[in-house]
Amino acid sequence: MQLYTKISPQNRPKIPRLKGSRNIHESVKEVNKIIKSTLKRNSTLEEVVDCVFAGAVTVCQENKIHITSRQPKPKEDKEPPWKQRLEKKINTIRKQIGKLHTYLNTNSPSRKTSKKVARIASEFRIKSIGERFKQDLTKLCDTLKQKVKALGNRIRRYNERSTRYKNNQLFYKNQKQFYRQLEGTTTTEEEFPTPQDMHATWKEIWGHAVEHDDEASWIREAETEAEKYAMEEITITEDDIKAVLKKSNNWTAPGPDGIHNYWWKNFDSTHEQLSKLFQKALTDPSQIPEFCTLGITHMIPKGTKNGDPTNYRPITCLPAIYKILTGTLTHHIWKHVAKNKILAREQNGCRRDARGCKELLIVDALVTKQAKKKLRNLSMGWIDYI
């Protein structure tokens, strides 16, 4: 807490994704107890976030998990040391083969070539005097060629295995790119737009104020209709926060605070304090700190990567605590919508936990028994929804 309280997220270490183990689970339990005794009744959202971050770092340190900085070094595709040594050895042997080949296929080799061959012969303990000297050199030349072939096969097997591994990883992460690579449509040199071009492109879209007609007829009708469905006051409880976290993914990309949903789930001693702070935020939104609405925006290419900034779409990773708050409010709003049946029948596809348009099409159609029979034959189990 002393190390990381009130320090900007950019200067904090990056918490890695953890693989589940008994030791980590026990550490999380112990830290959760400490957080419960550390948090005060009048703690702010900033203090709760700092406490959870410090608890996550503590768990990592207790289990000797390496914590990296926020600005990781770019990965370099370095060859393994043993491969570099083999390639160096192959080059040396090839030079020796070249010298031996020159000496054996020349009637009167130069003094320089003879000296080099004599040095090679002494290295392999071949006598440079005698009638069998050239025969021994021929055998040595054949032996070195076989050695080069054996070492080359070893490197070739490694390259094939490495290529298979990279293809498997690429297929698991990005099947689209994998098939493009098979078709040979991917380019080795990728061109990316500059941040200035990105900023200028999106400034033209979002940088200008737009005036809307606040007196439109449909707005008046909506305001009149809304008076019939007055919503009750929301009371955020600890169970609401647990219900939202239960549906969230543990290791989705976090916001600038670097805290994953996993830590909010398992440090449940903070849930009671969060429910109180969220309840206060409903009456006084100014209590929500600014960092809750700050995110990290990534530009995702739409199609192939190129230098055109209009070919990219932004996606922003917001802090998990903000998504917990909005998820809790959404939960209560959907309760109100379902209770009063506010959502129009034509918008059932937007309903919470909807399965898509399939059910909507079937409900809108007059499905006869024969039609049901045909659909069941097509193994469409969702017809039972009717």
Q: For the chain, how big is the Rg over CA atoms in Å?
A: 34
**The amino acid at 21:** S
Q: What is the pLDDT of residues 97-113, one digit of tens each?
A: 999 999 999 888 899 99
Q: What is the mean pLDDT of residues 253-265?
A: 93
At 194, the pLDDT band (50, 70, 90 cuts) reads confident
Q: 248 is written with which tokens?
A: 């969230």
77 in a structural domain: no
pLDDT at 186: 54
The rounded distance, in Å, linking the Cα atoms of 363 and 349 is 12
Is 269 in contact with 262 (CB distance < 8 Å)? Answer: no
Q: What is the pLDDT of residues 213-227, one digit of tens each?
A: 888 888 888 788 777
Structural domain boundaries, residue 48? 9-71+230-342
197 in a structural domain: no
194 in a structural domain: no
The rounded distance, in Å, linking the Cα atoms of 369 and 318 is 49
> What's the total number of domains in the chain?
3
Residues 108 and 66 in one domain: no
Check residues 72 and 316 and name the one with the higher pLDDT.
Answer: 316
80 in a structural domain: no
The Cβ of residue 154 has, within 10 Å, a number of other Cβ atoms equal to 14
pTM for the whole thing?
Answer: 0.63
pLDDT at 293: 87
The residue from 152, 183, 214 where one domain ends is 183
CA-based nearest residue to 275, from 332, 340, 199, 358: 332
Residues 44 and 112 in one domain: no
The Cβ of residue 368 has, within 10 Å, a number of other Cβ atoms equal to 9
Per-residue buried b or exposed e for 235-254, using 16+ beta carbons within 10 Å of the residue's own CB: ebeeebbeebbeebeeeeeb
Q: Which helix (H) or strand (E) holds 272?
A: helix 271-283
Q: 127 is written with which tokens?
A: 């006598």
CA separation, residue 312 to residues 50, 66, 175, 317 (Å)? 34, 34, 19, 16
The rounded distance, in Å, linking the Cα atoms of 379 and 331 is 33
The residue from 183, 199, 217 where one domain ends is 183
2 in a structural domain: no
CA-based nearest residue to 301, from 174, 184, 206: 174
**At residue 75, does pLDDT exceed 70?**
no
**The amino acid at 322:** Y
Please report the beta strands in the chain, taking only residues with DSSP state E, as ranges in sequence order.
296-301, 312-317
Residues 40 and 24 in one domain: yes
- DSSP for 316-335 reads EE--HHHHHHHHHHHHHHHH
Q: What is the pLDDT of residues 237-257, one digit of tens each?
A: 999 999 999 999 999 989 999
> What's the mean per-residue pLDDT of the chain?
84
Q: What is the pLDDT of residues 305-346, one digit of tens each?
A: 778 888 898 899 999 999 999 999 999 998 888 888 888 777
**At residue 34, does pLDDT exceed 60?**
yes
**At residue 45, does pLDDT exceed 60?**
yes
Residues 111 and 171 in one domain: yes
Residues 98 and 152 in one domain: yes
- Let me know if 195 is exposed, middle or buried by CB neighbors in 10 A (0-12, 13-18, 19+): exposed
pLDDT more than 90, % of the chain: 42
171 in a structural domain: yes
At 190, the pLDDT band (50, 70, 90 cuts) reads low
- Biggest CA-to-CA distance, the chain: 114
The rounded distance, in Å, linking the Cα atoms of 84 and 93 is 14
146 in a structural domain: yes
Residues 338 and 257 in one domain: yes
The rounded distance, in Å, linking the Cα atoms of 231 and 87 is 74
pLDDT at 175: 85
Residues 53 and 135 in one domain: no
The residue from 183, 204, 222 where one domain ends is 183
Q: 145 is written with which tokens?
A: 């060629």
pLDDT at 356: 47
Question: Which residues are paired to 317 by β-bridges?
Answer: 296
Residues 99 and 155 in one domain: yes
Residues 241 and 304 in one domain: yes
Q: 193 is written with which tokens?
A: 């737009």
- Count of alpha carbons within 13 Å of 149, Cβ hemisphere only? 6
221 in a structural domain: no
Residues 48 and 107 in one domain: no
Q: Which residues have C-beta within 8 Å of that of residue 73, sequence separation ≥ 6?
A: none
The rounded distance, in Å, linking the Cα atoms of 182 and 170 is 11
Residues 358 and 320 in one domain: no
CA separation, residue 314 to residues 198, 205, 300, 311, 367 (Å)? 10, 13, 6, 10, 42
Per-residue buried b or exposed e for 4-28, using 16+ beta carbons within 10 Å of the residue's own CB: beeeebeebbebeebeeeeebeebb
What phi, psi does 297 have (nearest 5°)? -95, 125
Residues 282 and 305 in one domain: yes
